[in-house]
């Protein structure tokens, strides 16, 4: 099945999009697992269903938000002490980003005292305001963010590992 057959037109109440961009119905298959990246423990929480269609052509950019954890464990993963606050932060960030129908949450990777959130986005999307708005409620956290074009044939996990 070609990816175009899975698209439906953008609803009229959605944001204005460039010609040819359509809303994508996202399948979900979330999974969590532990592994290592370059010998450093890492935890992954990813929507594996996206790997079947990555990159999603209209959403050909990857936006990431890198959060420096304040109380990580010795191995660099998240601690019980910080767990609830990290969930609240994630619960603020994802809806702030997802208000834009041309941004899709991919998942997160936690490693080396950082938590990285990943989103697919259309090329014209500027997520800076959404990120800053969500992070205002968490002034004790240092974060950075960026955006890059996803290479054709690159899958979700490969992209997340490359962003280490």
DSSP string of the chain?
A: --GGGGEEPPPTTSPP--TT--EE-----EEEEEEEETTEEEEEEEEGGGGGT-S-GGG-EEEEEEEE-SS--TTSSPPHHHHHHHHHHHHHHHHHHHTSTTEEEEEEEEETTEEEEEEEE-TT---HHHHHHHHTT-TT-EEEEEEEEPPTT--HHHHHHHT-
Total residue count of the chain as it appears in this document: 164
pLDDT digits (tens, 9 = 90+) for 83-100: 999 999 999 999 999 888
Strands 23-24 and 142-149: unpaired
pLDDT digits (tens, 9 = 90+) for 101-146: 788 899 999 999 999 999 988 888 889 999 999 999 999 999 999 9
Q: Domain spans of the chain?
A: 37-120
Between 7 and 113, the more confident residue is 113
């Amino acid at each position: 099945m070609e990816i175009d057959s899975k698209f439906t037109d953008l609803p009229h109440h959605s944001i204005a999009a460039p010609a040819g961009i359509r809303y994508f119905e996202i399948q979900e298959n979330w999974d969590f697992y532990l592994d290592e990246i370059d010998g450093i423990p890492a935890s992954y929480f990813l929507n594996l269903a996206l790997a079947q269609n990555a990159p999603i052509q209209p959403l050909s950019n990857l936006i990431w938000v890198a959060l420096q954890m304040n109380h990580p464990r010795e191995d660099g993963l998240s601690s019980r002490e910080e767990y609830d606050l990290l969930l609240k932060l994630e619960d603020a960030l994802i809806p702030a980003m997802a208000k834009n129908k041309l941004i899709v949450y991919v998942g997160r990777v936690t490693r080396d005292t950082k938590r990285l959130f990943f989103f697919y986005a259309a090329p014209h999307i500027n997520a800076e305001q959404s990120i800053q708005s969500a992070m205002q409620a968490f002034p004790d956290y240092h974060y950075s963010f960026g955006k890059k074009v996803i290479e054709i044939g690159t899958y979700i996990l490969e992209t997340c590992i490359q962003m280490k």
